[in-house]
């Protein structure tokens, strides 16, 4: 019995692509949880760099080259996140749903609407 192919726009499909990409280059040996976590933070910093020194980072402040850079850094962040989750056995979709439920309990809409404080500050 063959395993069904995940939809092309799914996290599972990205996981398979990153697995194949790393295997073809013999890079899996370097993709330890520590290294992937470090790479993820570097890419997140590179993403933040595109917004550095902008007043707010609002749409009107972003020209085409900056948008391209942001898009590429977001992709790098996502790809490292998918690889890290794969290495540590986390189902990202399930984890995101779980975290949303936890956040909904911490931040009930009727209590925090329009308030940016952390849950333990109100």
Q: From CA 45, how far away is CA 65, in angstroms rounded? A: 18
pTM higher than 0.85, yes or no? yes
pLDDT tens for the 122 residues of the chain, in order: 666 677 777 999 999 999 999 999 999 999 999 999 999 999 999 999 999 999 999 999 999 999 999 999 999 999 999 999 999 999 999 999 999 999 999 999 999 999 998 888 87
Cα–Cα distance between 21 and 84 in angstroms, integer? 15
- Do 41 and 80 fall into the same domain? yes
CATH code of 79's domain: 1.10.287.1080
Residue 64 lies in a domain: yes
Distance CA(87)–CA(40), nearest Å, equals: 13
CA angle centred on 78, ends 33 and 25, rounded to 5°: 60
* 47 and 17 in a common domain: yes
Using CA atoms, how far apart are residues 111 and 10, in angstroms rounded to an integer? 34
Please give the residue range of the domain that contains residue 98.
91-122
Do 75 and 101 lie in a common domain? no
Say how far apart CA 15 and CA 84 lie, in whole Å: 10
Looking at the fold, whether 70 and 119 belong to one and the same domain comes out as no
């Amino acid at each position: 019995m063959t395993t069904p192919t995940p939809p092309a726009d799914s996290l599972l499909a990205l996981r398979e692509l990153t697995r194949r990409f790393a295997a073809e280059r013999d890079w899996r040996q370097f993709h330890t949880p520590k290294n992937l976590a470090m790479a993820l933070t570097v890419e997140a910093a590179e993403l933040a760099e595109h917004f550095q020194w902008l007043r707010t980072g609002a749409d009107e402040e972003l020209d085409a080259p900056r948008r391209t850079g942001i898009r590429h850094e977001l992709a790098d962040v996502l790809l490292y996140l998918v690889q890290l989750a794969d290495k540590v056995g986390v189902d990202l979709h399930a984890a995101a749903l779980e975290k949303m439920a936890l956040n909904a309990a911490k931040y009930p809409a009727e209590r925090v609407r329009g308030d940016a404080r952390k849950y333990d500050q109100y």
